[in-house]
Structure 1
């Protein structure tokens, strides 16, 4: 991803132990490497990569907390917005969102606390269609979204948007908003 985007790695320091302690599972190693190199932000002006940017819109942990709160709100009934899956709750099995697109496609890991280290990517397109499962790393999925014209329905290379990266608004390294 670094070569593809011609990005200079940021070397962000993150307390992964605290984050993984809250989740109750380790996060994918390649995701942590991606975040430490890029931070949260946008690939190709359309693919949003959630990182660990406390207080800004590109923070996956804040997004997860909100999604879990809504998913577990008994006033809303037992239907999950991620149906037929639930949002991951510590010790259980469910989804944690790590990315999306401007077209409302959503990218999640399916996390099972009983199978740490196994993080298939689940994605669904904006049309409310079926979930698609990909047994590949976060970085491979992201790479294929950006460059593989045959990676449908999620590939975006046919739109000729390039492969650049822009840090998210409020990112400590960019000094500008999106």
Structure 2
């Protein structure tokens, strides 16, 4: 329902990307939200409303979900950088554990993640924070509902980008940007 609303809002023609979900989820050690998979298959990776970055599949890697997760995990686990995580008080999700997996952000450094706990499969609260340093806010809603609300609800504070009167568009990621 919410995925379809995002598609209709943007006037996007779904790409119908096929993904090897068994391999992706095997690497993560956990299943991903069903509606995220629908968004991924419909949009790939790219930018909504010229400001909301969505991680999916991108041959150029900038919007590639798995590449971004691997990099974040590597940095989070690098002992040379100290014991402080960039997502305090959480850590980046590591297979079999509990932590954050980024699926989106904004040009204003807002971050959108799931709090994934391998011991609680199927539970994917959205955690978001403004300006890359603010407090984390938890939303018990699907990825696609959260995305729809930030794109359309000017009162969805502090994350609603609709207050900026941006056109509800989608621009796919591209390897031409590399």
- When normalised by structure 2's length, the TM-score is 0.94
**Is 2:64 the counterpart of 1:59?**
yes
User: Across the two proteins, how many residue pairs are aligned to each other?
Assistant: 173
Q: Distance in 2 between matches of 1:127 and 1:69?
A: 19
Distance in structure 2 (CA, Å) of the matches to 1:128 and 1:44: 23
For structure 1, the 5+ residue unaligned runs are: 171-175
2:93 maps to what in 1? Answer: 88
Structure 1 segments of 4+ aligned residues over 4 angstroms from their partners:
none
Q: 2:145 aligns with which of 140, 159, 176?
A: 140
Matched with 1:48 is 53
Task: Name whichever structure is richer in helix by fraction.
Answer: 2
Report deviation, 1:52.
2.4
Instruction: Determine which of 90, 100, 103 is the counterpart of 1:98.
Output: 103
TM-score when normalising by structure 1? 0.94
Note the aligned Cα RMSD (angstroms): 1.4
Q: Would you say the 8 A contact 1:124–1:132 is kept in 2?
A: yes
2:131 aligned partner? 126
Verify: 1:109 aligned to 2:106, yes or no: no
**Please, which runs of 5 or more residues in structure 2 have no aligned partner?**
1-5
Report the alpha carbon displacement of residue 158 of structure 1 after superposing the two structures with TM: 1.2
- How many angstroms apart in 1 are the aligned matches of 2:31 and 2:60? 22
Contact 2:15 2:43 in 1 (8 A): yes
